[in-house]
Structure 1
Amino acid sequence: MPDRLITEYGAEPGTDCSDAIAQAIAAGGRVVVPPGEFRTGPIRLRSNVELHVSAGGTLRFHTDATAYPIVRTRWQGIECFSHSPLIYAYGETDVAVTGTGTLDGGASTDNWWSSTRPRTDWERLVQWVEDGVPVEERVFAPGHGFRPSFVQPYECRRVRIEDVRIVDAPMWVVHPVFCTDVLVRGVTVESLGPNNDGCNPDSCEDVLISGCSFTTGDDCVAIKSGRDTDGRRVARPSRNIVIESCRFTAGHGALTIGSEASGGVHGVHAHDLHITGTDHAIRIKTNSARGGVIENLTATDITATGLTTSAVLITTRHAEPDPPGEHPPAVRNITITNLTAHSTPRTIEIIDSPRAPVEGFRMS
């Protein structure tokens, strides 16, 4: 795979290098960001392209929403056309983001974080789903729509995100959607904004998250599979997911499943997790509007300290609508072993209902 140094295509530190990066990607191969700070708009990856950010190199992304074209995406578990993720790939094979440099989303309360959710756009999207509007017609104009994910491969095969440091994302940070064979290894996430989940496999299969570090404003690792009616329409579960040898220093749940898991989550194994200062070590959350089956989670060799709420929370009534919905979820076969929790108000919380009981929970 040939190296394509972005400076060979006209990139200069401190300037807008969007065109130079796009040209290097079009040439194919390994696109290299050298030491220095380079400014850029959204990046669209193609098959057989590796974006490599060298040690001492930084890609700092624009924060003007109108700089981001409208693309097919999934936002909070619902498909639509909205602002492009900062790094995006659609329908590609063998894409990678690597290197020990920094990806800086530049998000703050002065830009992306100033409005955590545009209510009118969100209400419009929910209504479109209930009215059966096709995804191709759920299109937001530039400047409307939603805060984008940072890194989102969509319908891709063989995805690798390795070693990079990612800071200050507009929304979810690493967010593969409908992908297979995903490796997220050695990544450092430092992003404390609203909804800044660290890594969200969303209706993905065969995922390994290994040796990563998470300091986040929301859940650290959160496994998803679509929301409510739209998630059931797509009906693609997340399955065969391994989380190993990771560190978690801020966030709601270190390892979370849900709440957008209407397509189901099957087969998650976690081991060797080191947690300090999150709300929960393990959190599974869903409700009767979501539906779906969450099953076969095993977690072992977990050390947690300074948890603010409980070591383990499993609820089938998270944000339960009133009256309850017509799609009670199933949560079953959860096994947790060798969990050491220091200084936590509660060890286990299970909040369920006769319509959606938690079944087959084992802890030893």
Structure 2
Amino acid sequence: MTWSRRNFLATSVAATAGGAALGGIGPASPARAATAADAPPGTGGAPGWRRAAEITRRVRPPRFPARRFAVTDFGAAGDGTTDCTEAFRRAIGACHAAGGGHVDVPAGTFLTGAIHLLSGVDLHVGDGATILFSTDPAAYLPAVYTRFSSIECYNYSPFIYAYDQENIAVTGSGTLDGQGGTEHWWPWVGNAAYGWKPGDPEESADWAALQDMADRGVPVEQRVFGAGHYLRPNFVQFYRCRSVLVEGVTLHRSPMWQIHPVLSENVTVRDVHVDSRGPNNDGCDPESCSGVVIQRCVFDAGDDSIAIKAGRGADGRRVNVPCEDVLIEDCDMRIRYGAVAIGSDTTGGIRNVFVRRCTMGSPNLYFGLYIKTNSVRGGFVENVYLRDIHISSLLKETISIDLYHGEGDTGAYPPLVRNIDIRNLYCDTSRAPLFIRGYPDDPLHDISLVNCTFTNVQRDSTIANIDGLTFDRVTVGGQPVTTPPVIGNT
């Protein structure tokens, strides 16, 4: 039997119906009644995933009045050359003033600078419509309150931005085109692979300055970048917003992170196609949010498909807000680093992350689950649950949990990583099943693998400094592994 996404998920659903669990993943794997071995560590079974059901009930997308405001009625022209920035501003303002509704973008190509959403507004990008974002950095000024790589500052406006708004959405079957590429935005990363040449401007000096400001406690109002600086803007960012929806659209050629809700509540991202392989082009980065549902999305991204974050270093400790209650389901994650990444910006803490019925893998994807942090970032990662996961191929490990990511063990804030439960996972090809590594004086805690199959691997797992690692019905290369080896504990 060929294990496609469709028959894998069909088998998973059939086997788990009515409280049963999958007995194995692969040909002739019988269904099996749930037992105590299926319990996530410390939960007794159902309570862990019961919280996912609570997230589903609690997180609801916004609803909008039937009023419609065509952007073309406010002066926009879909010819790809007319600057429609003011038309978008007027249409959104009129929709908001009327009590909310839909701002319709019809078929055509609409060139614009920054679009700022207001409460009650659904920006609906219709079939055949493309919003084409300007390549002129001045089109994203004045600078706005934002985050660059998880540190607060004033910088170029994200292309679609909302601050302290509620009931907002970007929907439709159309395309958001950021026009990033080796000619625009991407060279600022300072890498020749993305078009940078010696003598061209790049972001390293600004990034160093921002980190130094955060470390010294410089007030955010004084961390002003934007004009004359080279920190790339995010694509779509909702900052301190409530009740947010991104649905149906395709995101293409982003400057940097693509969908980035920050300090927001009740966020839904569904049926979105991310098609952008530039530098730091993460697909979706919920940061310090509460209540996020990501469903039925396709991620073809230049960095992590989904990266859950909670602030970085001194700035993360100042804001100190966790990211919690995140549900990811029925997504397809194809490229490039982690399919589901947690970190590396973990300072405010990350908890209650649920991933189910997802497919992952391509010749260009590195990791399946990728938890990455260190003692400079600090914080915590706890209560992470994966089940019914099908992985075709990975370049590196299926599961990587590493406290030595980036700066290693050079800080004063050792992170807490505990209660990671992975079950009903099948990986066809990877470098190794596991790379999990805590610190000698700060081990990882309570990691459980239940009913997991790793078929083709090149090397043994690396496992070091962990307190409580459990295998139940784990096979590697066709051989059962009942006692996980622990290599390199010190």
Verify same fold: TM over 0.5.
Answer: yes
Letter in 1 for 2:371: I
Cross-structure match for 2:134? 62
Cross-structure match for 2:358? 273
Percent same amino acid among aligned pairs?
44
Letter in 2 for 1:331: V
2:301 is the alignment partner of 1:301:
no
**Structure 1 contact 163–188 (Cα < 8 Å) conserved:** yes
Cross-structure match for 1:115? 188
Cross-structure match for 2:420? 334
Cross-structure match for 1:99? 172
> Which SS does the other structure have where 2:430 is aligned?
coil
Cross-structure match for 2:93? 26
**Structure 1 contact 260–286 (Cα < 8 Å) conserved:** yes
Which of 101, 106, 111 is equivalent to 1:39? Answer: 111
Runs of 5+ consecutive residues of structure 1 not aligned to the other structure: none
> Which SS does the other structure have where 2:260 is aligned?
coil
Which of 67, 75, 80 is equivalent to 1:10? Answer: 75
Aligned residue pairs: how many?
363
Letter in 2 for 1:87: I
2:402 is the alignment partner of 1:315:
yes
**Structure 1 contact 294–331 (Cα < 8 Å) conserved:** yes
Instruction: Output the CA distance in 1 between the equivalents of 2:388 and 2:93.
Output: 45
Deviation at 1:128, TM superposition (A): 0.9
**Structure 2 contact 356–386 (Cα < 8 Å) conserved:** yes
Letter in 1 for 2:354: H
Deviation at 1:249, TM superposition (A): 1.4
Deviation at 1:77, TM superposition (A): 1.0
Cross-structure match for 2:435? 349
Letter in 1 for 2:153: C
Deviation at 1:283, TM superposition (A): 0.4
Which of 305, 309, 317 is equivalent to 1:220? Answer: 305
Instruction: Output the CA distance in 1 between the equivalents of 2:302 and 2:279.
Output: 6
**Structure 1 contact 66–143 (Cα < 8 Å) conserved:** no
Question: What whole-Å deviation, never above 9, does each CA across 1:267-303 have from its counterpart, x for those lacking one?
Answer: 0000001112111111000001001010000000000
Cross-structure match for 2:32? none
Deviation at 1:145, TM superposition (A): 4.5
- Superposed, 1:212-291 pairs within 5 Å as 212-277=297-362, 278-291=365-378
Instruction: Output the CA distance in 1 between the equivalents of 2:294 and 2:230.
Output: 30
**Structure 1 contact 11–38 (Cα < 8 Å) conserved:** yes
> Which SS does the other structure have where 1:197 is aligned?
coil
**Structure 1 contact 316–356 (Cα < 8 Å) conserved:** no
Instruction: Output the CA distance in 1 between the equivalents of 2:369 and 2:394.
Output: 11
Instruction: Tell me the TM-score normalized by structure 1.
Output: 0.98
Letter in 2 for 1:186: D
> Which SS does the other structure have where 1:229 is aligned?
helix
Question: What whole-Å deviation, never above 9, does each CA across 1:151-191 have from its counterpart, x for those lacking one?
Answer: 00100000000010111100000000000000001000001
Cross-structure match for 1:124? 209
2:120 is the alignment partner of 1:48:
yes
Larger proportion of helix? 2
Instruction: Output the CA distance in 1 between the equivalents of 2:321 and 2:359.
Output: 30
- Over aligned residues, Cα RMSD in angstroms? 1.0
Deviation at 1:310, TM superposition (A): 0.9
**Structure 2 contact 188–230 (Cα < 8 Å) conserved:** no
**Structure 1 contact 95–160 (Cα < 8 Å) conserved:** yes
Instruction: Output the CA distance in 2 between the equivalents of 1:219 and 1:146.
Output: 19
Deviation at 1:141, TM superposition (A): 4.2
Cross-structure match for 1:184? 269
Q: Which runs of 4+ in 1 moved over 2 A?
A: none
Deviates more, 1:126-135 or 1:90-99: 126-135
Deviation at 1:119, TM superposition (A): 1.2
**Structure 1 contact 149–169 (Cα < 8 Å) conserved:** yes
> Which SS does the other structure have where 1:25 is aligned?
helix
**Structure 1 contact 202–223 (Cα < 8 Å) conserved:** yes
**Structure 2 contact 188–231 (Cα < 8 Å) conserved:** no
Deviation at 1:260, TM superposition (A): 0.6
Deviation at 1:320, TM superposition (A): 2.5
Letter in 1 for 2:89: A
Runs of 5+ consecutive residues of structure 2 not aligned to the other structure: 1-64, 96-100, 190-201, 451-490
Cross-structure match for 2:296? 211
2:159 is the alignment partner of 1:86:
yes
Cross-structure match for 2:34? none
Instruction: Output the CA distance in 1 between the equivalents of 2:136 and 2:336.
Output: 27
